[in-house]
Amino acid sequence: MKKLFFISIIFLSVNAYAQVDSLNNTNTNYSQVDSLTNTNTNYSQVDSPNNTNINTNTNTNSNKHKKQGDLKVIGIYAASIILNGIGDGLNNNNNKTAGHIVNALSISMLLISPFLMDYDKKKWYWYLATYTFLRIGLFDSTYNLTRKLPLEYVGTTSLTDKFYNFLGHDSYILKPISLGIGIIIPLTKL
């Protein structure tokens, strides 16, 4: 349980890091984004009142904000999946109250995600693919750790368990591959 808590904290800290904005910047740089043309206008503060420095640049902060958005997607989805795995594991260990609370936190992560990041509705399928691959990569491992089962343990009741059993002994390799794909998609497609 302590390991899973530690892992959850790591993913939550990634999300918190992704939310850092330019307020900590020592350079006074005011930026305005035009949402229609997707351009940034930078207004740099100048010491002399007679000089004005207005620089219009289309890619000044876009890479920084894109990276932060990618980290938010990965962090929020991973935290939600890990919390769900912990909650289900606690429920199946007859610790229902704690399991339900953790599952509620998992659902809450997804419900508040639109307020924490800007979704591009035109790329909804990439968000779905990211969540699906991250879930394949993280959920079973988190569940197994919570229940103190071997990491590669595969049950017999759920549809995913039946699919993994159908694939055979080497099906555990799908989880790290899926985790990698779930991390790569936001970094390259969103």
Residue 31 lies in a domain: no
Question: What is the arithmetic mean of pLDDT over 59-74?
Answer: 78
* Residue 77 phi, psi dihedral angles, 5° rounding: -65, -45
Per-residue pLDDT at 64: 74
Q: What digits encode the pLDDT tens for the residues 128-151?
A: 999 999 999 999 999 999 999 998
- Give dist(CA 64, CA 116) in Å, integer: 16
The answer to whether residue 110 sits within a structural domain is: yes
Which residues lie closer than 8 Å to 149 by C-beta, 6 or more apart?
none
Domain count, the chain: 1
Q: What pLDDT does 190 receive? A: 85
Q: What is the pLDDT of residues 70-110, one digit of tens each?
A: 899 999 999 999 999 999 999 999 999 999 999 999 999 99
- Calculate mean pLDDT across residues 52-60: 52
Q: Taking each helix axis from N to C terminus, what angle separates 124-146 and 2-18, rounded to the nearest 10 degrees?
A: 150
The whole-number pLDDT of residue 40 equals: 53
- Report the half-sphere exposure of 140 (CA within 13 A, side-chain side): 24
Q: What is the rounded distance in angstroms from the CA atom of residue 83 to the CA atom of residue 86?
A: 5
Q: How buried is 160 (Cβ within 10 angstroms: 0-12 exposed, 13-18 middle, 19+ buried)? A: middle
On whether residue 179 sits in a domain, the answer given is yes
* In-domain check, residue 52: no
User: Per the domain annotation, does 30 fall within a domain?
Assistant: no
Tell me, yes or no, whether 29 lies in a domain. no
Average pLDDT, the chain: 78
Determine the structural domain holding residue 140 and report its residue range: 2-21+62-189
pLDDT, residue 61, reads 66
